[in-house]
A and B are shown apart, each in its own frame.
Chain A
Amino acid sequence: MTASTPVDDTAGDLRVETTAADRASRRGWPVGALALAALVVVPIGFLAVSVLNPNTEVWRQQWDTRLPGQLVDTAVLLVGVSTGALLLGSSLAWLVSAYRFPGSKAFGWLLIAPLAMPSYVLGFVTLSVFGFTGPVQNQWRDWFGRDAWFPEVESMGGAIVVFTFVLYPYVFLLARAALADQAGSAYDVARSLGASPTEAARRVVLPMLRPALAAGVAVVMMETLTDFATVQYFGVDTVTVGVFRIWRGTFDRDAAAEFATLVLVVALMIIGIERIMRGRARFGEAAGAAAGLGPRRLEGAKAWGAFAACASVLLLAFLAPTLQLASWAYGEVTGPRGTPNTERFLEFLGNSVQLAILTAIVCVLASVFIANGSRFVSGRSTGIAARLTAVGYAVPGPVVAMGVVLSLVALDDVLEGIGLGLPGAVATGSLVGLVYAYSIRFLAPGLNAIEAGMAQVPEEVTASARSLGARPSTIVRRIHTPLARTSVVTGAVLVAVDALKELPIALLLRPIGFNTLPIWTFNLATESRFEQAALPALAIIVVAMIPVALLSRQLSRGVERA
């Protein structure tokens, strides 16, 4: 200890000498994060409020005409698709987790491939191959005569089958993860206590899987609800189709928005169903290092039966339609007709890429801000903001789209009121509205990826950097972003691919004359020009394979580790 006398410092400074920069960095994060959350929530709020002042005329007209049928169709479709996806997804997950058979490990990640197949693509391929004029029915009639019975493809049943094949991977993924992470030791304990395999599966594994299955089914229902393109091929008339019909038919945005609240109500009901199905169980409650299920080896016919089951699903849902598209596309590109004119393909591809990149930039910047904000400012506001900004993913595309229309119209009015009128109709025909709506909808996957990356950066690293005198902006640049780089890239890719595939929001909000690959595909398919739709459809699938491949790599790594 030194002997020098310390200065008595109690008399001096009585206030903390903060600078403007200190205060800005302290308040900037929560204020910014809440502002971002508001940008996400306000459009949905606008939409919800619009129904408080209903246009009774529109509702009465709808009620007298299509609405009752639409409600029935929506319910039947949701129940049918979720049942189908639940059965298919969970049985495939059980097969590849509980048994070993030829290819079982590869199927573990191959079976998620249909995630890259948009329903509006599988839909038109199915129609063209199995439809009345398609090759299958022609062959059928050749064999069994002109009036031989064949199930109606252009029907509710057809739509349910197509959605089931495209959406079962959500249930499969979550069920498989739960089986791999938690169910093993509980299953072993149940067996050691004298339960038969089936009894252990029914009494122990299934209840443990319930939260995962509930979450999977909820995603499946949301994805089904958000669609209004695929269902139109099959003549299924849901409430979501209703929004599109009103908007495109009358351009009455208030009526369309009000009608979209109906979709929002269905979405809320789905979330409620998930909560009820999940019960009081929560994810990740397995204590400590819970082991996965120890798989049993299948022999002979059983093994090949399991193989055939997995292979046929993969073939029907992904391989066969992709090959069909490839052969059509090849025929078109090399064929004498010279369609589909490649210039337009490149133009639409450019539009899609532009939209995807803009959306990815917006979402990544917002996500980086939010993920860093909760690191620098301890407090509830940043946490709440992070959760609010993610709600867009659980809101069907048409709801987001109509909400954005209402908000931009309101903004237009305000700007005009203060004499700053924007040129042209911002609300109904600009890229701004489209990127805004896409960003609301796809912020969640980007934010999840970037938050996961930030979680890998220990709090102590941040604290050390601050105590060494680095300002938050410096830490974001020099420490956090370099360390979370992979996640930032992953987040950008996930958002971009989602944006590239998106059809419903684009159909509702695109500027006149602005086409994306999905819109073009959809338009050609609606006109039954399937061969011409093949090239853009194939392009979408190829791009959509990127995140699926990323996911597969993670899954196969997980298997290796185990």
Chain B
Amino acid sequence: MTAVPLRLDGVVKRYDDVTAVDGVDLELAPGELLALVGPSGCGKSTLLRSIAGLVSIDAGRIRLDGVLVDDAHDRLPPERRSAGLVFQEHALFPHLTVADNVGFGLRTGGADDRRSRVEEMLDLVDLGGFGERFPHELSGGERQRVALARALAPSPALMLFDEPFASLDHNLRIKLRQDVAAALKATGTPAVFVTHDQQEALAIGDRIAVMRQGRIRQLGTPAEIYHRPVDEFVAAFMGTASFLPIADDATSALGPIDMRGVEPTAAVAMVRPDDIVFAPAESGDAEIVGAEYHGSGWHLRATLPDGTDVHFMVGHLDPPAVGDRGTLALTPGHRQVVVPRP
């Protein structure tokens, strides 16, 4: 039987009069990768550090691998918790070789066992043969892979990532997050992955927790979070969205809305850019006010007579120009989401 790798009950952390983490409950399934996402200052890093034991919590309980490690009175120090940590940068021991870095956390077994474990871990992150190098001889991406191997070497019950790729360039991040996900799946290690990048969260998480002001606003699969956000904040944070007022008869400027039982006056409709079609028309009531080229297509912004901003995409090479007019409609067959009126 496997223990629950991580379980948080009502975790609270205050700094003077700021409540950084405000009553978080969370449970991780074995082998699961949870992306913890939110704007800077939302408490996601503090929560991660509480789990690692680097900060003490003011209320609640933290269980790691079935062991109570913090009950806000007593707590186990970080070195007695079975959690591996990977930070953004600077965290390798600069005076030790790659092999000594990876072997640092190995305390059991003979020298031979340790050496073969180090080699196994370096192979896992595609760095076989790098053991005798020093951290300063590696590229940024290689250093992060060493940090990953080092944290995985003692077989932790849980891995914690604190914005590990924030300092790397775009293409390298994509490659590395695939490598990380592969290494975690290969070892069956569950993980909490903190990021402020929505794309990264959507790409890597089995589930995503969206945090704001110390609380988890929504917890769900990437598709749920993106297409069924619980409120306007989650909707806007996870990607570009338009929010359309809804009239009493459940219609919006772009067409009828499926209210699914919600009072029209209490809600707005959330529409993603790919759920809107645009038809050029001189007498159309939408005016294009902004255009950005994104390679795969154009992101356009239009205003409606009531002042609502609408974001949508067109794929073709001959986009409408700023100042053009047209009509906007909801893509047939796509369901819209209503979120509470802010």
> A4 at interface (Cβ–Cβ under 8 A)?
yes
In the bound complex, do residue A469 and residue B74 qualify as a contact, i.e. CB atoms below 8 Å apart? no
In the bound complex, do residue A22 and residue B85 qualify as a contact, i.e. CB atoms below 8 Å apart? no
Question: Which B52-100 residues have a C-beta within 8 angstroms of A?
Answer: 52-56, 63, 66-71, 73-81, 83-85, 87-95
In the complex, which range does the number of interface residues on chain A fall in?
A: 20 to 34
**Out of B66, B69, B154, which one reaches A16, CB within 8 Å?**
B69
CA distance A163 to B248 in the complex (A): 88
- Answer whether A468 and B105 are a contact pair too, CB < 8 Å, given A1-B31, A25-B77: yes
- Which residues in B have their C-beta under 8 angstroms from that of A458? 90-91
CA distance A447 to B95 in the complex (A): 23
CA distance A25 to B1 in the complex (A): 34
In the bound complex, do residue A18 and residue B74 qualify as a contact, i.e. CB atoms below 8 Å apart? yes
- Which residues in B have their C-beta under 8 angstroms from that of A13? 67-68
CA distance A482 to B3 in the complex (A): 39
In the bound complex, do residue A9 and residue B7 qualify as a contact, i.e. CB atoms below 8 Å apart? yes
B30 nearest CB neighbor, chain A only: A2
In the bound complex, do residue A1 and residue B206 qualify as a contact, i.e. CB atoms below 8 Å apart? yes
Task: Quote the shortest CB–CB distance from B87 to chain A (angstroms).
Answer: 4
- Answer whether A469 and B90 are a contact pair too, CB < 8 Å, given A4-B2, A6-B2, A9-B66: no
> B4 at interface (Cβ–Cβ under 8 A)?
yes
In the bound complex, do residue A460 and residue B90 qualify as a contact, i.e. CB atoms below 8 Å apart? yes
- Which residues in B have their C-beta under 8 angstroms from that of A461? 90-93
CA distance A463 to B48 in the complex (A): 12
Question: Which A230-260 residues have a C-beta within 8 angstroms of B?
Answer: none
**Out of A4, A463, A468, which one reaches B104, CB within 8 Å?**
A468
Task: Quote the shortest CB–CB distance from B51 to chain A (angstroms).
Answer: 10
The A contact surface, by secondary structure, is: loop
In the bound complex, do residue B1 and residue A466 qualify as a contact, i.e. CB atoms below 8 Å apart? no
> B188 at interface (Cβ–Cβ under 8 A)?
yes
CA distance A276 to B105 in the complex (A): 53
> B32 at interface (Cβ–Cβ under 8 A)?
yes
> A65 at interface (Cβ–Cβ under 8 A)?
no
- Which residues in A have their C-beta under 8 angstroms from that of B160? 467
Q: Which interface residue of A7, A26, A467, A468 has the most chain B CB atoms within 10 A?
A: A467
> A378 at interface (Cβ–Cβ under 8 A)?
yes
In the bound complex, do residue A483 and residue B104 qualify as a contact, i.e. CB atoms below 8 Å apart? no
In the bound complex, do residue A7 and residue B29 qualify as a contact, i.e. CB atoms below 8 Å apart? no
In the bound complex, do residue A22 and residue B77 qualify as a contact, i.e. CB atoms below 8 Å apart? yes
B153 nearest CB neighbor, chain A only: A468
**Out of B4, B84, B188, which one reaches A9, CB within 8 Å?**
B4
- Answer whether A463 and B79 are a contact pair too, CB < 8 Å, given A6-B2, A468-B104, A469-B154: no
CA distance A236 to B99 in the complex (A): 66
- Which residues in B have their C-beta under 8 angstroms from that of A14? 68
In the bound complex, do residue A4 and residue B1 qualify as a contact, i.e. CB atoms below 8 Å apart? yes
> A269 at interface (Cβ–Cβ under 8 A)?
no
Question: Which A455-493 residues have a C-beta within 8 angstroms of B?
Answer: 458, 460-461, 463-471, 479, 482-483
- Which residues in A have their C-beta under 8 angstroms from that of B94? 483
> A53 at interface (Cβ–Cβ under 8 A)?
no
> B235 at interface (Cβ–Cβ under 8 A)?
no
CA distance A468 to B78 in the complex (A): 8
Task: Quote the shortest CB–CB distance from A464 to chain B (angstroms).
Answer: 5
In the bound complex, do residue B150 and residue A482 qualify as a contact, i.e. CB atoms below 8 Å apart? no
In the bound complex, do residue B1 and residue A7 qualify as a contact, i.e. CB atoms below 8 Å apart? yes
In the bound complex, do residue A468 and residue B154 qualify as a contact, i.e. CB atoms below 8 Å apart? yes
- Which residues in B have their C-beta under 8 angstroms from that of A463? 49, 52, 54, 78, 85, 87, 91
Task: Quote the shortest CB–CB distance from A298 to chain B (angstroms).
Answer: 43
Task: Quote the shortest CB–CB distance from B162 to chain A (angstroms).
Answer: 8
- Which residues in B have their C-beta under 8 angstroms from that of A25? 77
CA distance A18 to B30 in the complex (A): 25
**Out of B66, B73, B85, B104, which one reaches A7, CB within 8 Å?**
B66
In the bound complex, do residue B74 and residue A465 qualify as a contact, i.e. CB atoms below 8 Å apart? no
A466 nearest CB neighbor, chain B only: B78
Task: Quote the shortest CB–CB distance from B28 to chain A (angstroms).
Answer: 9
**Out of A10, A18, A465, A482, which one reaches B75, CB within 8 Å?**
A18
CA distance A249 to B105 in the complex (A): 64
Annotate A8-26 by CB proximity to B: 1 below 8 A, 0 otherwise.
0110111111100010011
- Which residues in A have their C-beta under 8 angstroms from that of B77? 22, 25-26, 466
Q: Which interface residue of B55, B93, B151 has the most chain A CB atoms within 10 A?
A: B93
CA distance A5 to B56 in the complex (A): 30
Question: Which B1-41 residues have a C-beta within 8 angstroms of A?
Answer: 1-4, 7, 29-32
> B294 at interface (Cβ–Cβ under 8 A)?
no
Task: Quote the shortest CB–CB distance from B342 to chain A (angstroms).
Answer: 35
> B107 at interface (Cβ–Cβ under 8 A)?
yes
- Which residues in B have their C-beta under 8 angstroms from that of A4? 1-2, 30
CA distance A465 to B150 in the complex (A): 10
B85 nearest CB neighbor, chain A only: A467
> B147 at interface (Cβ–Cβ under 8 A)?
yes
CA distance A479 to B105 in the complex (A): 13
A463 nearest CB neighbor, chain B only: B54
- Which residues in B have their C-beta under 8 angstroms from that of A468? 79, 84, 104-105, 150-151, 154
CA distance A471 to B63 in the complex (A): 21
B77 nearest CB neighbor, chain A only: A22
- Answer whether A470 and B79 are a contact pair too, CB < 8 Å, given A482-B95, A483-B94: yes
B162 nearest CB neighbor, chain A only: A460
CA distance A25 to B30 in the complex (A): 32
- Answer whether A7 and B3 are a contact pair too, CB < 8 Å, given A18-B74, A461-B90, A466-B79: yes
- Which residues in A have their C-beta under 8 angstroms from that of B32? 1
In the bound complex, do residue A16 and residue B4 qualify as a contact, i.e. CB atoms below 8 Å apart? no
- Which residues in B have their C-beta under 8 angstroms from that of A1? 29-32, 206
In the bound complex, do residue A16 and residue B78 qualify as a contact, i.e. CB atoms below 8 Å apart? no
- Which residues in B have their C-beta under 8 angstroms from that of A9? 3-4, 7, 63, 66
Chain A residues at the B interface, C-beta cutoff of 8 Å = 1-2, 4-7, 9-10, 12-18, 22, 25-26, 378, 458, 460-461, 463-471, 479, 482-483
A6-B30, A9-B7, A467-B53 given. 12 additional CB < 8 A pairs?
Answer: A1-B30, A2-B30, A6-B1, A10-B7, A14-B68, A15-B74, A16-B73, A16-B76, A17-B68, A458-B91, A464-B147, A469-B107
Listed from nearest, the 9 A-B pairs whose CB atoms lie closest are A468-B105, A466-B78, A16-B74, A460-B91, A467-B85, A460-B87, A9-B66, A458-B90, A6-B4
Chain B residues at the A interface, C-beta cutoff of 8 Å = 1-4, 7, 29-32, 49, 52-56, 63, 66-71, 73-81, 83-85, 87-95, 104-105, 107, 147, 150-151, 154, 156, 160, 188, 206
The contact sample of 24 A-B pairs, CB cut-off 8 A, is A1-B30, A1-B31, A2-B2, A2-B29, A4-B1, A5-B2, A6-B3, A9-B3, A14-B68, A16-B70, A16-B71, A22-B77, A460-B89, A461-B90, A464-B85, A466-B53, A467-B83, A467-B85, A467-B151, A468-B79, A468-B84, A468-B150, A469-B79, A470-B105
